[in-house]
């Protein structure tokens, strides 16, 4: 049961990451918005990256190895601390 729950959570995190990226892409299509809010658009991208990393971690056969694959240093370090 726990595995199915983790898998379901991972699927939802991936779906959310796709939605967040689509939002960011739509906002980037407006050059005025992109120029004025680049830092916020980059934050949107980071949210999607974190969601994907956490989803992969939830279903990993070896969470310790998956933590080391996380590309974002801040998130990787947080996961190391909690482990």
The whole domain housing 54 covers 2-82
Q: Which residues of the chain have pLDDT under 70?
A: 1-3, 82-83
> φ, ψ for residue 29 (rounded to 5)?
-65, -25
Looking at residue 29, the DSSP 8-state letter turns out to be T
Using one digit for the tens of pLDDT, what is the confidence trace for 63-83? 999 999 999 999 999 999 865
How much is the pTM?
0.86
CB contact burial 43-72 (16+ within 10 A = b; e otherwise)? ebeebbbbbbbbbbbbbeeeeeebbeebee
Q: What pLDDT shows up at residue 4? A: 72
CB 13 within 8 A of CB 53: no
Total tally of structural domains belonging to the chain: 1
């Amino acid at each position: 049961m726990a595995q199915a729950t983790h898998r379901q959570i991972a699927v939802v995190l991936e779906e959310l990451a796709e939605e967040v990226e689509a939002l960011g892409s739509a906002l980037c299509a407006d050059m005025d918005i992109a120029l004025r809010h680049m830092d916020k658009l980059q934050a949107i991208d980071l949210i999607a990256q974190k969601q994907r990393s956490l989803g992969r971690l939830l279903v990993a056969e070896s969470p310790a190895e998956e933590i080391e694959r996380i590309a974002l240093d801040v998130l990787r370090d947080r996961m190391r601390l909690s482990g």
